Amino acid sequence: MPESFINVVWLVPFFPAASALLMLLVGRRLSRPVISWLCCGTVFLSFLVSVGVFFELLRLPATDRLREVSLFTWIPSLPLLSEAGTQSFQVEWAYLVDPLSAVMILVVSGVGFLIHVYSIGYMAHEGGYYRYFGYLNLFMFMMLTLVLANNLLLMFIGWEGVGLCSYLLIGFWFLKKSAADAGKKAFVVNRIGDAGFLLGIFLTATTFGTLSFVGVNSILAGGQFAAGSSAITAITILLFIGATGKSAQLPLYVWLPDAMEGPTPVSALIHAATMVTAGVYMVARTNALYRLAPFTLEVVAIVGAVTAIYAASMAMVQTDIKRVLAYSTISQLGYMFLACGVGAFAAGIFHLSTHAYFKALLFLGSGAVIHALAGEQDIRKMGGLWAKLPITGKTFLVAALAIAGIPPLAGFFSKDEILWRAFANGNWLVWGLGTVTALMTAFYMLRLVILTFFGGSRRSPEVEHHLHEAPRSMTVPLILLAGLSIVGGLVGIPAVLGGGNRFEHFLEPVFGHAAAAPSHALEFVLMVLSVVVGLLGILVAYVFYLKRPEIPAQLARRFSGLHQLVYNKYYVDEVYSKVFVEGPVLGKAMGDTFGRFDLKVIDGIGVDGSAWLTRFTSQLSIWWDTWIVDGAVNLVGWTVWILNWPARALQTGLVQRYALWMAAGVALLLFYYVQRYILGS
Amino acid sequence: MDYFRDTILNWVLFVPLVGALVLLAIPGDRKNLIRWVANLFAFAGLLVALPLVAWYDKTEAGFQFTIAKDWIPSIGASYRVGIDGISFLLVMLTVVLGFIAILSSWSFIQKRVKEYYIMFLVLQVGMLGVFMALDFFLFYVFWEVMLVPMYFIIGIWGHERKLYAAIKFFLYTLLGSVLMLLGILGLYFFHSGLHAAGAACPAIDAAGHAIDTFSIPVYLELGKVLPVPWQVWIFWAFFISFAIKVPMVPFHTWLPDAHVEAPTAGSVILAGVLLKMGTYGLMRFSLPIFPDATRMYAPYLAVLSIIAIIYGALVCMMQKDMKRLIAYSSVSHLGFVTLGIFMLNHTALSGSLLQQVNHGISTGALFLIVGLLYERRHTREIAQFGGLATPMPIFATLYMIISLASMGMPLLNGFIGEVTILIGTFQVNKVWAGFAVVGIVLAAAYLLWLYQRVMWGEVTNPANKGLRDVNLREAVTLVPLVLWCFWIGVYPKPYFEVLDKPIALLVQRVEVAQPAMPVAVTLPETEEETPSEP
């Protein structure tokens, strides 16, 4: 069986697609166990195929690890004269198997499967079970399509598809207005980014005459396009706008915290482990373009670094457990972009995968806490849960230490790799921001752990008796993810620690060889520094929230202005809601104006005006006809009538009158005769 | 079978007419019988058209299945029908939507049932005739024939302001068709005059004399010889007629009124098919017959199309009436179609025609959705609804899919059409494409907002509590359209293949270079030989 799994790689997205279709068509009639087995089972099958693909790829020589599996021609050849000189372009429905997509499908289907299993317990008491799993499976299909796509347009299908599923799942509890609103906000903000992505696709098509990654790479390898050429800079900027929308970077990050309205496993799967990393994946996938756009890379690095520190600062003061994690996700995504921006794509993808483990674990852990506390999400009302929720507590702590960068947990290796690359790249500003962020990350994660699990209980009594550890279907995924968070980084042990950095070497066919490290000694120093920074953050959190809990309040009072600013998330939501509320208001006002324009001007003046004009002219012609045309005719008649009245007076047709006239005439003649001849003479 | 194959277009065209005649013979009070007969004939009209799918030859650029018979020989008018890829897709759209529209009227139409179905079947004949006619005289007859039943459908079975809407619709369209008639006559006399001028012309008889003819295939060749001033005048005469029909801004205000007042099936046909007659006219006639005028004005008309895209979308935002909102969304969507047309390149034109089909499917389905709600609640006001997803889950799913199709979600039909149009536009002018993309973002906003207001949240209005979900008949009207959306979205290849050759021919005709004077064309040899004989 040389490549039997690679040839059927399309099964990876199609297993969940099949069960999604089944759920949406007949899911209503199926029982819960059937739904659970079916939906988790298909994702597990996807995972198995992904494992098969991965090992088949490993067996191939490193230079030959690239396969395109075409299903059919999606958009057949259309004439298009590109800048690269091609005459036509077409789009295949084809999947690309290479080390990058192999890693991605493993992470997506693996973490996805665990979250599916977890959902069985978490959603056990909710209505719309089939709908939930249908959407979740649909999401898996879209996400796997996204990462397997061999061209930008097919990737865009997955891209829009995951956005749609995110919309549907955020708004899953659609009876709640805030949920429906959050869903809409996510969708519309994402669409703004998508518009950039779409324009990037068009520009790619007209520049290269192809949308396939392999095709673009081979044209670029031809050296026809120089580094920094305007077309490539424009393409990469447009694509990056798309990425900032999907991956919640400045300035389009605002939808992600609101997206926490959705069920917690959804937050774990979509808004932490997979979908939001799509932007990073896209940048990494098109790295050949980005390498030729130094300006864009600079932008990516800065946006990533600034987002990382900015979001971390907000995470430090949030009081909603899920929102802390949401800001943390934004911050960690910033790290990944930072990595891409300094050209360390492999490190970005490495962090993407380790982040998927520990952030999914954090969300699922927070879900278990929320579940246990009957829906309570405010960490000020938690505390002292360590003994009550032993498994959740321990796994949560593991994940927190992993994200804080404590060796040898997963986060340490990936984060350190990123910071080292930034430094080695000479991008000290970015490195500095990243290091400070690491300190803040360690601080807010431990703050979260301490406030949730340690100290005295601040829970309300009615929550107290409800308290219980999560069922097995929820704790088993927690334990497995904790395992991954511990060992997940070992695939990327850097050379300085005696490892082979096998992860990076595996991805070399996609990203090329990393530049040789300038100095191992320097790398080691920086590594120690970042560990110290992480420990420092933990120590501060320990002092602030366990040892002397009065300090945070004092600080907040002392720097009340700053605290208020950060606590209120820099008022960006207020500004945005002005834009996003008044933007639509403005749109509506314009729509209103246009609508009235239609009514008053086009219809009023144009249509009704011409109707009035027609009626007026017709009245005018009636008047003309009546008074002028008919008038002239009548005038003639009248004149004749006037002139002929004497004759008319005579010719009455009455014999008696004729006799009278005759008699009168005779009398007149008689009178004349008598006068003239008888009396006159 | 050969006989059927040779005359298939007659069957497609006249089966609905036969249906109308049969209905005439049924007493008006036997309503259910009338409904059955009308639906059967509509379905039969669909069935006889299906073999076209198998028999249509994708490798052929010209007209197929042509039938030609003399009609009024003294002026050169003939009965001539035929289809190419462009009209083939629109004919298929018409037969499918026509059947679905008639099926959807079953319970909605309660008064004057007999007249209604007769009107509808005659309307069907008129629309099919417009897409099939290969003779301008015949084309004009069908163009006008279709106007009358639509006028009555709006005027008799419409809603509150039906008379106003019907008159407005009629007069607007009539104004356009009169101008078009002038244009046709202009072409007719130009063609006859070519002979007098001693120039070559496309249609000559055996003796080399120009034939008086209305033949469309002949006229399509006129673009090579028609002088630019003639092109300009006749272009505008045709353009105004088609622009009213599409409708393009600023000729669009008849549309919201007509859509809102028309009964559901009327709106479905109006949006689904009637509007396409305008865009079809632009593609079929304006581009090839007036290539120079088209190239001259295309940039302005493209900008007008972009204005329509954004204008229509913004007006959607403020609508309180569901039907009016969807009517204005048509203005926006048709803006994409006309934008694609005036880009004058293969990609955009293919996308444009595909988008005509897409719009017919998704907007037709959206009007069915509104009609369904209207039948239950007798209102179209958005504020009257809310939370309908709870009592009507199946409806909620169908409506969601159709909304997504309409806003251009990948895997559904609208995406393919918009992307191909935009790629074609991008080749011509990147800024235009950028503005048009704004239309896509706005479409998501107004359609989702509408969906959210109607379907999500708690049921606040007690009248909406016990609403019935879709029944079997309603599902039969909607599900095929949903499946069609997916088909085009996932596997549009057959559509592009059907369009490939005819669009290539069209592009070739638009790109033809205009000779300075028609006389410069080589004289036919016969003309030179005749003087030497006596």
Q: pLDDT tens, A16-36?
A: 999 988 888 888 888 888 888
Chain B residues lying within 8 Å of A606, measured CB to CB: 250, 253
Chain B residues lying within 8 Å of A79, measured CB to CB: 345-347
Subunit contact B250:A606, Cβ cutoff 8 A: yes
Domain residue limits at B364: 293-512
Smallest CA-to-CA distance from B491 within A584, A412, A93, A65 is with A93
pLDDT given for residue B97 in this prediction: 93
CA distances from A311 to A261, A307, A413, A591, B10 (A): 19, 6, 22, 36, 69
pLDDT given for residue A4 in this prediction: 82
Give which of A132, A174, A201, A600 to mutate to test B binding, by max B Cβ within 10 Å.
Answer: A174
B365 part of a folded domain: yes
Instruction: Please state the pTM of the whole predicted model.
Output: 0.85
Angstrom distance (rounded) from CA B89 to CA B131: 10
Q: Which chain B residue is nearest to residue A127, measuring alpha carbons?
A: B390
**Among B315, B397, B419, whose Cβ lies nearest the Cβ of A591?**
B315
pLDDT given for residue A322 in this prediction: 87
Subunit contact B317:A587, Cβ cutoff 8 A: yes
DSSP run (H or E) holding A70: strand A67-79
pLDDT given for residue B351 in this prediction: 93
Subunit contact B493:A180, Cβ cutoff 8 A: no
Chain B residues lying within 8 Å of A153, measured CB to CB: 419
Subunit contact B440:A195, Cβ cutoff 8 A: yes
pLDDT given for residue A514 in this prediction: 64
Q: Where are the alpha helices (DSSP H) in A342-427?
A: 345-372, 390-404, 410-424
Query: What's the token pair of residue B133?
Result: 């006619």
pLDDT given for residue B280 in this prediction: 94
Q: Which residue has the tokens 């490539």?
A: A232
Average pLDDT over residues A467-489: 83
CA distances from B204 to A32, B211, B526 (A): 76, 6, 11
B138 part of a folded domain: no
Subunit contact A180:B457, Cβ cutoff 8 A: yes
CA distances from B194 to B163, B202, B208 (A): 46, 9, 12
Which of A58-67, A209-218, B505-514 is the least confident region?
B505-514
Q: What secondary structure does DSSP assign to B366-403, as a single string?
A: HHHHHHHHHHHHS--BGGG---TTTT-HHHHHHHHHHH
Classify residue A660 by burial, with Cβ atoms within 10 Å: 0-12, 13-18, 19+.
Answer: exposed
**Among B317, B423, B497, whose Cβ lies nearest the Cβ of A76?**
B497
pLDDT given for residue B276 in this prediction: 92
Q: Which chain B residue is nearest to residue A83, measuring alpha carbons?
A: B427
Chain A residues lying within 8 Å of B458, measured CB to CB: 175
Chain A residues lying within 8 Å of B434, measured CB to CB: 199
Chain B residues lying within 8 Å of A594, measured CB to CB: 311, 314-315
Angstrom distance (rounded) from CA A518 to CA A346: 18
How many angstroms separate the CA of residue B512 from the nearest CA in chain A?
Answer: 18
B308 part of a folded domain: yes
Subunit contact B389:A174, Cβ cutoff 8 A: yes
Q: Which residue has the tokens 């259910």?
A: B32
pLDDT given for residue B313 in this prediction: 87
pLDDT given for residue A571 in this prediction: 74
Classify residue B389 by burial, with Cβ atoms within 10 Å: 0-12, 13-18, 19+.
Answer: buried
How many angstroms separate the CA of residue A25 from the nearest CA in chain B?
Answer: 9
Single-letter amino acid code for the residue at A100: L
Q: Chain A 167-226, CB below 8 Å of chain B: which residues?
A: 167, 171, 174-175, 177, 180, 184, 187-188, 191-192, 194-195, 198-199, 201-203, 205-206
Subunit contact B492:A24, Cβ cutoff 8 A: no
The region that residue B378 occupies, defined by phi over 0 for left and psi between -120 and 50 for alpha, beta otherwise, is left
How many angstroms separate the CA of residue A353 from the nearest CA in chain B?
Answer: 27
Q: Chain B 94-123, CB below 8 Å of chain A: which residues?
A: none
Average pLDDT over residues A638-652: 81
Chain A residues lying within 8 Å of B500, measured CB to CB: 76
What does the pLDDT profile of chain B (534 residues) look like in tens digits? 788 888 899 999 999 999 999 998 888 888 889 899 999 999 999 999 999 999 998 888 889 898 988 888 888 888 999 999 999 999 999 999 999 999 998 888 888 888 899 999 999 999 999 999 999 999 999 998 888 899 999 888 888 888 888 888 888 888 888 899 999 998 888 887 776 555 555 566 655 566 678 888 888 888 878 888 888 999 999 999 999 988 888 888 888 888 888 888 889 999 999 999 999 999 999 999 999 899 989 999 999 999 999 888 888 888 888 888 998 899 999 999 999 999 998 999 999 999 999 999 999 999 999 998 888 888 888 888 888 888 888 888 899 999 999 988 888 999 999 999 999 998 888 899 889 988 888 888 888 888 888 888 778 888 888 888 888 888 889 999 999 999 999 899 999 999 999 999 999 888 865 544 444 333 333 443 344 433
Angle between helices A32-59 and A99-122 (to 10 degrees): 160
Chain B residues lying within 8 Å of A184, measured CB to CB: 448-449, 452
**Among B315, B415, B492, whose Cβ lies nearest the Cβ of A595?**
B315
Q: A37 in contact with B at a CB cutoff of 8 Å?
A: no
Chain A residues lying within 8 Å of B415, measured CB to CB: 160
Q: A539 in contact with B at a CB cutoff of 8 Å?
A: no
**Among B253, B415, B422, whose Cβ lies nearest the Cβ of A603?**
B253
**Exposure string (b/e) for B275-301, b if CB count within 10 Å is 16 or more?**
bbbbbbbbbbbbbbbbbbbbbebbeeb
B481 part of a folded domain: yes
Q: B393 in contact with A at a CB cutoff of 8 Å?
A: yes
pLDDT given for residue A535 in this prediction: 84
B6 part of a folded domain: no
B524 part of a folded domain: no
How many angstroms separate the CA of residue B247 from the nearest CA in chain A?
Answer: 13
Overall residue count recorded for chain A in this entry? 681
Chain A residues lying within 8 Å of B440, measured CB to CB: 191, 195, 198
How many angstroms separate the CA of residue A594 from the nearest CA in chain B?
Answer: 6
Single-letter amino acid code for the residue at B518: P
**Torsion A342-A343-A347-A348 (CA) sign:** positive
Q: B461 in contact with A at a CB cutoff of 8 Å?
A: no
Subunit contact B427:A206, Cβ cutoff 8 A: yes
Q: A433 in contact with B at a CB cutoff of 8 Å?
A: no
Chain A residues lying within 8 Å of B410, measured CB to CB: 156-157, 159-161
Q: Which chain A residue is nearest to residue B445, measuring alpha carbons?
A: A188
B317 part of a folded domain: yes
How many angstroms separate the CA of residue A202 from the nearest CA in chain B?
Answer: 5
pLDDT given for residue B301 in this prediction: 92
How many helices and strands in chain B, by DSSP H and E? 23, 2
The region that residue A223 occupies, defined by phi over 0 for left and psi between -120 and 50 for alpha, beta otherwise, is left
Residue A77: helix, strand or coil by DSSP? strand
Task: Quickly count: other Cβ atoms within 10 Å of residue A46's Cβ.
Answer: 27
**Among B437, B442, B452, whose Cβ lies nearest the Cβ of A198?**
B437
Q: For residue A552, is pLDDT > 60?
A: yes
Query: What's the token pair of residue A11?
Result: 């099964």
Hey, which bits of B20-107 come out as E strands? 64-72, 77-83
Angstrom distance (rounded) from CA A354 to CA A348: 10
Subunit contact B410:A156, Cβ cutoff 8 A: yes
Q: B401 in contact with A at a CB cutoff of 8 Å?
A: no
Q: Chain A 120-159, CB below 8 Å of chain B: which residues?
A: 153, 156-157, 159
Q: B420 in contact with A at a CB cutoff of 8 Å?
A: yes
Contacts of A574 (CB under 8 A, 6+ apart): A568
Q: For residue A2, is pLDDT > 70?
A: no
Residue A494: pLDDT band with limits 50, 70, 90: confident
pLDDT given for residue B20 in this prediction: 92
**Among A80, A157, A603, whose Cβ lies nearest the Cβ of B347?**
A80
Q: Do residues B319 and B328 lie in contact, with contact meaning Cβ atoms separated by under 8 Å?
A: yes
Q: For chain A, what percent of residues have pLDDT higher than 90?
A: 13
DSSP state of B457: S
Subunit contact A602:B253, Cβ cutoff 8 A: yes
Q: Chain A 543-562, CB below 8 Å of chain B: which residues?
A: none
Task: Quickly count: other Cβ atoms within 10 Å of residue B229's Cβ.
Answer: 9
pLDDT given for residue B201 in this prediction: 55
B352 part of a folded domain: yes
Overall residue count recorded for chain B in this entry? 534
- Note the pLDDT tens digit of each residue in A319-339: 888 888 888 999 999 989 998
Q: B212 in contact with A at a CB cutoff of 8 Å?
A: no
Smallest CA-to-CA distance from B301 within B273, B270, B279 is with B279
- Note the pLDDT tens digit of each residue in A513-546: 766 566 777 778 888 888 888 888 888 877 777 7
Q: Which residue has the tokens 């995470």?
A: A315
Q: Which chain A residue is nearest to residue B427, measuring alpha carbons?
A: A206
Angle between helices B113-132 and B31-49 (to 10 degrees): 10
Number of domains in chain B: 1
- Note the pLDDT tens digit of each residue in A575-624: 776 665 566 666 667 777 777 777 777 777 777 787 788 888 888 888 88
**Among B317, B347, B397, whose Cβ lies nearest the Cβ of A588?**
B317
Chain B residues lying within 8 Å of A205, measured CB to CB: 423, 426
CA distances from A651 to A663, A665, A669, B135 (A): 16, 15, 21, 68
Q: B327 in contact with A at a CB cutoff of 8 Å?
A: no
